[in-house]
Amino acid sequence: MKLSRSGVAVASLAATSALILSACSDNSERGDSSAAPASAVADIQCEGKQDLQASGSTAQANAMTIFSTSFAQTCPGFELAYGGGGSGQGVSDFTQNLTDFGGSDSPLEGDDAAAAQQRCSSEAWNLPLVFGPIAVAYNVEGVDDLALSGPTLSKIFGGEITNWNDPAIAAENEGVELPDLPISVIYRAEESGTTDNFQKYLTAAGGWDKGDGKTFNGGVGEGKQGNPGVGSAIGPTAGSIGYVEWAYAQSNNLSMAKIITDQDPEGVALTAESGGKTIDGATLANGDESHNMVIDTSSFYKPTESGAYPIVLATYEMVCSDYADDATAQGVKTFLSVASAPQNQGQDLQNAGYIPLPQEFQTKLQGSIEAIQ
């Protein structure tokens, strides 16, 4: 398919995550009001558990503000409490049965998939609800137009290139006056699906031999917590560079590098259009008939068409295909039905730094949501 247990445990989760999203959310994590309150969705049957718990990816936190506000307005008395903490936290909380569903920028696999199946007593599904580009944000005074290739980024984030006037950077930016300034790498300190996706991109684009995974393997730089931590650290740090979800680059007014690909030697700027073009060319790894909708992102990282931005991640909601109790199943289905509705996959979502789901994909996703038992 082409894409055109206890109360104590839950209380502890909420206290440590400290991000509650509901109709009264102030969107403080992002620091602005771009993720505007959404309106009620028509023709939704409000059923099941009313106080849902979820945690995980900070890359989707701003989208969750939109979705949870619409959820509360669509179904009065219903609420989602979403704790951030990163994708690793989301996987851990979900597999330990502390949450009703979890958010992750990487699909469940290996031991995590096995742990999720044990928790669910059924197959756990990965449902990609939010697509977000990863920006390569930087702070170099006087440099407003910068293009970087995958191999050069691999050397920067691997510690081989340590100064902004390095010949490799200069060769990709003819005519740009690059300062004699040390490079300060900023990365995600905790386990993060954003890190996993970024390292997968570096591997595919060439020059990165440090492996992928949710832990940053570069061996250089300073780690910050979550997308908010990385986004807020780049601006005050002269000579810094980091990878961060698009919304946080925008909200912190950060400069973003164009990414050089085989199809675009001058680089591709990150826009809704360039990210949408990337998604249009993606396929499902498990085939069109599977409700476990893992995206084959290999086509993202090395585009075959001009104008496609190569660093895009899919943020998944990890759910049980068959929940132990019907109330939870129906509550999760209600929330996801609201979140995937066309009116919540439009301009508000784009304004918050995400790429709305193409229509064909919305239809497929809604079928998988309906199949949850």
Annotated binding site for phosphate: 57-59, 87, 105, 192-194
43 CB-contact burial (10 Å; exposed 0-12 / middle 13-18 / buried 19+) = exposed
- What is the Cα–Cα distance from 37 to 342, expressed in whole angstroms? 15
User: Could you give the C-alpha distances from 147 to 143, 168, 174, 267, 310, in angstroms and in order?
Assistant: 11, 11, 10, 6, 13
Q: Which residues are annotated as a binding site?
A: 57-59, 87, 105, 192-194
Q: Which of 27, 100, 52 is nearest to 251 (CA)?
A: 27
Report CA Rg, the chain: 20
- What is the Cα–Cα distance from 364 to 343, expressed in whole angstroms? 16
User: Pairing relation of β-strands 79-85 and 51-56?
Assistant: parallel
DSSP code per residue over 257-292: -EEE-SS-TT-B---HHHHHHHHHT-EETT-TT-SS
Tell me which H or E stretch contains 186: strand 184-188
- What is the Cα–Cα distance from 261 to 34, expressed in whole angstroms? 31
Query: What does the DSSP 8-state code read for residue 316?
Result: E
